[in-house]
Amino acid sequence: MTDSEYMQFALKEAQKAAEEGEIPIGAVLVYRDMVIAAGHNRKETDRDPTAHAEVLVLREGAHILGRWRLTGASLYVTIEPCPMCAGALLNARISRLVYGSPNPQYGAIESRFHITGEGVLNHTMEITSGVCRKECQQLVDSFFNSKRG
């Protein structure tokens, strides 16, 4: 499958989040060309500040693979990860991150912070940004516009 096709799975998860009143961010974890975990933000539902889509998917993927090191896996997420999620991706040893839209306020990959930058930590990952960018951004914009009135 292509990056765009995997991102469509993440967008479906983000739509579920929106329907639940959560910030619409979705993520999927791919290992050996198979989606092994999928999820979306659940902070409000779970009353858990760490229940971001990325963290939930990493937990599920680690459980499925039976290990915390997720080397060889790719994470697809609709919005650029925040500092907490970027740190979790590095700690999980994700090999590749693909995200849709930048996060100018909290983005920890390229927008605001550069946690995954060369030489910052001992693990690096391949990063691809802008996949289905317009769709990813439109979903977040629609969500916040509806909340603001």
Calpha distance 105→144 (Å, rounded): 14
- Tell me the torsion sign for CA atoms 137, 88, 111, 127: negative
* Catalytic residue list: 54
Using CA atoms, how far residue 26 sits from 2, 50, 55, 92, 108, in Å, is 17, 14, 11, 18, 17
